[in-house]
Chains A and B, each alone.
Chain A
């Protein structure tokens, strides 16, 4: 599969979580890629979801979003 397609799939997930109001609580990086733990500020138990980013473009994208939170993506 084209890496671009993989990137698009990961980007859609990232955008989706942000649109649903999730916030990033923890990021860890290891040999598998970037592990992101999202937490929902709305749920009483601060529901958490995990996402593994494997493509370099997605790892660049999420870091850029965090560095520039005021920019529209």
Chain B
């Protein structure tokens, strides 16, 4: 049995699976049930001045029968008085002293506001704070959430204000609704953050009803943008985690958020540099019990690899994540079709012929039956055929023996400069 416990910037947790600040962590009843189910930590639904919500708050995007491929919400932070939340946090912590309870906070970007809420909340024994600089709807219109999270100076300043009075670790939750998340991540570090978490939800509109022309969701015929999460956002989140993890100026732990639905997703985030993960949509879709499979799966994965602690895989993929200009232009893979497995659906041929490099031929085999064959010399190794192929094992991308030594774009450009006209003129 591998050791699944983590230490994220001073916050200890029996396993890396936390519930994200969201509807599943709205109350003590829910968080205690989550801990009973096995979750290692919970980020309490954001505390602040109690808000007013609208009815009809969630919407989901299904894709080809996959329910909740993406999830959209326009719900705001807690609508309950601070005293009620604090009482339930205290009771929950008392019952589960070894589980991590992190209080998500959001107030106006004013020093006294941050000091007030931090002092009041830490009194009940939370293990850490998460500053919500990411919520993209509703609160942002009031200058909070992503509105302040998109301004590096405000991220740094507010983090600093919190650190002035916080006695427990401070995580800064970042918005993906920004061109370069490493800029705001660095601002958080400069402000004294003990850790960062990402990503909050992405500005979104789930859809439009073609009969009524209403937005989805709509509130009495009117809609507003929401925040998008769920499996569809995982690649975006994974990149942002990786970009921060490999940035030498962002030297604090990362809590990974964004479409984590199973132990494999969690392991990917850990390998990409996250010390733990936060989950929301998968729990909303399937319930708290999904954490059982997450724990078992991650534990078995570590055991099979002979790894004693989950902390030992954190960031192992980061050195492999680089700039495009550092990739080898002479590395080459080509598609190989296994005709014993291929069902001749021709999807690879159509994809290649219509949208790629026209290198899969439809032939007739010696047995008189149709067969597909890749002209390797014309294959650029784009992977498209293997992506669209519906049969596992029918198309394999095979690495060719290098005929040319490695050359990156950056090396090429440096070398080409020697032969440039203007250089010779000089």
CB distance from B154 to the nearest CB of A (A): 43
- Whether B322 sits at the interface, judged by CB under 8 Å, is no
Most chain B Cβ neighbours within 10 Å, of A2, A26, A27, A63: A63
Cβ contact of B411, chosen from A2, A28, A67, A71, cutoff 8 A: A67
Provide the bound-state CA to CA distance between A66 and B407, in Å: 11
B378-422 interface with A by 8 A CB criterion:
378, 404-405, 407, 411-412, 415-416, 419-421
CB distance from B94 to the nearest CB of A (A): 65
CB neighbours (8 Å) of B404 from chain A are 60-61, 64
Q: Provided the pairs A25-B419, A26-B424, A27-B416 are in contact, do residues A60 and B378 lie with their beta carbons within 8 angstroms?
A: no
Provide the bound-state CA to CA distance between A63 and B404, in Å: 11
Cβ contact of A28, chosen from B329, B415, B420, cutoff 8 A: B420
Q: Provided the pairs A24-B419, A25-B424, A28-B420 are in contact, do residues A68 and B405 lie with their beta carbons within 8 angstroms?
A: yes
CB of B419 within 8 A of CB of A60, answer no
- Whether B375 sits at the interface, judged by CB under 8 Å, is yes
- Whether A15 sits at the interface, judged by CB under 8 Å, is no
- Chain A residues within 8 Å of chain B by Cβ, number: 17
CB neighbours (8 Å) of A64 from chain B are 330, 404-405, 407
A20-53 interface with B by 8 A CB criterion:
24-29
- Whether B377 sits at the interface, judged by CB under 8 Å, is yes
CB distance from A24 to the nearest CB of B (A): 6
Measured as residues with beta carbon below 8 angstroms from the partner, the interface class of chain B is 10 to 19
CB of B412 within 8 A of CB of A2, answer no
B49-103 interface with A by 8 A CB criterion:
none
Provide the bound-state CA to CA distance between A4 and B424, in Å: 33
Contact flags B14-43 to A (C-beta < 8 A → 1, else 0): 000000000000000000000000000000
Cβ contact of A63, chosen from B375, B377, B416, B421, cutoff 8 A: B416
Please report the number of residue pairs spanning A and B whose Cβ atoms sit closer than 8 angstroms: 45
CB distance from A45 to the nearest CB of B (A): 18
CB distance from B389 to the nearest CB of A (A): 23
Most chain A Cβ neighbours within 10 Å, of B357, B378, B404, B420: B404
CB of B329 within 8 A of CB of A60, answer yes
Provide the bound-state CA to CA distance between A66 and B357, in Å: 28
Q: Provided the pairs A60-B407, A64-B404 are in contact, do residues A3 and B378 lie with their beta carbons within 8 angstroms?
A: yes
CB neighbours (8 Å) of A27 from chain B are 416, 419-420
CB neighbours (8 Å) of A67 from chain B are 405, 407, 411-412, 415
Q: Provided the pairs A26-B424, A71-B405 are in contact, do residues A66 and B415 lie with their beta carbons within 8 angstroms?
A: yes
CB neighbours (8 Å) of B411 from chain A are 67
CB neighbours (8 Å) of B378 from chain A are 2-4
Task: Please name the residue on chain B nearest to A35 by beta carbon.
Answer: B421
Provide the bound-state CA to CA distance between A71 and B378, in Å: 25
Task: Please name the residue on chain A nearest to B357 by beta carbon.
Answer: A3
Provide the bound-state CA to CA distance between A67 and B409, in Å: 11
Cβ contact of B375, chosen from A2, A24, A25, cutoff 8 A: A2
Provide the bound-state CA to CA distance between A63 and B329, in Å: 10
CB neighbours (8 Å) of A66 from chain B are 415-416, 419
Provide the bound-state CA to CA distance between A25 and B425, in Å: 12
CB distance from B275 to the nearest CB of A (A): 40
CB distance from A14 to the nearest CB of B (A): 13
CB neighbours (8 Å) of A28 from chain B are 420-421
B314-329 interface with A by 8 A CB criterion:
329
CB distance from B159 to the nearest CB of A (A): 46
List residues of B whose CB falls within 8 A of some A CB: 329-330, 357, 375, 377-378, 404-405, 407, 411-412, 415-416, 419-421, 424
**11 A-B residue pairings within 8 Å (CB atoms):** A2-B377, A24-B419, A25-B419, A26-B420, A29-B416, A61-B404, A64-B405, A66-B416, A67-B405, A67-B412, A68-B405
Q: A24-B419, A26-B421, A67-B412 are in contact. List 18 more A-B contacts (CB 8 A).
A: A2-B375, A2-B378, A3-B378, A4-B375, A4-B377, A25-B419, A26-B419, A26-B424, A27-B420, A28-B421, A60-B329, A63-B407, A64-B330, A64-B404, A66-B416, A67-B405, A67-B411, A68-B407
